[in-house]
Amino acid sequence: MEQRTVYVGLGSNLGDKVTNCLRALNKLSSPENSIQAVSSFYQTQPVGYSEQDWFVNCVARVISWLSPHSLLKSLKRIEDELGRVRTVRWGPRVIDLDILLCDTEVIKHSSLVVPHPRLHERQFVLVPLVELAPGVVHPILKKTAKELLRDIEGKGGEVEWYAAPPSRELLRCGFDH
């Protein structure tokens, strides 16, 4: 099996938001997925559908031995296990897990688009991504995460630091940060 470095965005705006993200990270950690690092948690203004509570977001760097499509299925299963109910697009959710980048791969499929199609427009993803990997390059736009963030600073909703990255004790996966 081929290993890939994948950046996964996590977000929650229902219930105990940080705990929801921690539970998702613990479920993501498996023999097929090794969490290498997790960003700080950020409180972020909702984008797309503003009549809802603010989110808590973070980004995880994961080494995955799954294909991108298999990883997506795994992320959807985790969302379902944690109680995500899909109602309104961009609406409230217990947990949201998105593949942001997968090495330098470009995937355009009806069920999966990588890099995430709105990655370069969203501060709530770029701020934690820049914390983890400021030099990671968007394979289509050929800009680093730091350059993409600079391009949209002040747009795309407020982002405020909320909490430090989780410790090894909070995550069973024992990631290296």
State residue 6 phi and psi, 5-degree precision.
-125, 140
Q: Does residue 169 belong to any structural domain of this protein?
A: no
- pLDDT for 40 beyond 50: yes
**Reduced 3-state DSSP string for the chain:** CCCEEEEEEEEECCCCHHHHHHHHHHHHCECCEEEEEECCEEEECCCCCCCCCCEEEEEEEEEECCCHHHHHHHHHHHHHHCCCCCCCCCCCCCCEEEEEEECCCCEECCCCEECCCCHHHCHHHHHHHHHHCCCCECCCCCCEHHHHHHHHCCCCCCEEEEECCCCCCCCCCCCCC
| CATH number reported for the structural domain that contains residue 41 in this entry | 3.30.70.560
CA distance 152 to 28: 30
- Count up the domains in the chain and report the number: 1
Q: Print the domain residue range for 30.
A: 4-163
Q: Does residue 173 belong to any structural domain of this protein?
A: no
Residues with catalytic roles:
84, 93, 96, 98
Half-sphere exposure for 147 (CA within 13 Å, toward CB): 8
How does residue 18 score in pLDDT terms, banded at 50, 70 and 90? very high
Q: Give CA separation, 9 vs 1, 21, 140, 175, in Å.
A: 24, 10, 19, 16
Q: Does residue 143 belong to any structural domain of this protein?
A: yes
- pLDDT for 48 beyond 80: no
Q: Does residue 177 belong to any structural domain of this protein?
A: no
Q: What is the pLDDT of residues 155-165, one digit of tens each?
A: 766 788 888 88
Q: Does residue 176 belong to any structural domain of this protein?
A: no
How does residue 51 score in pLDDT terms, banded at 50, 70 and 90? confident
Q: What is the pLDDT of residues 66-114, one digit of tens each?
A: 999 999 999 999 999 998 777 766 668 899 999 999 999 999 999 999 9
Q: Does residue 170 belong to any structural domain of this protein?
A: no
Q: Does residue 14 belong to any structural domain of this protein?
A: yes
How does residue 117 score in pLDDT terms, banded at 50, 70 and 90? very high
Q: Does residue 175 belong to any structural domain of this protein?
A: no
pLDDT of residue 132: 95
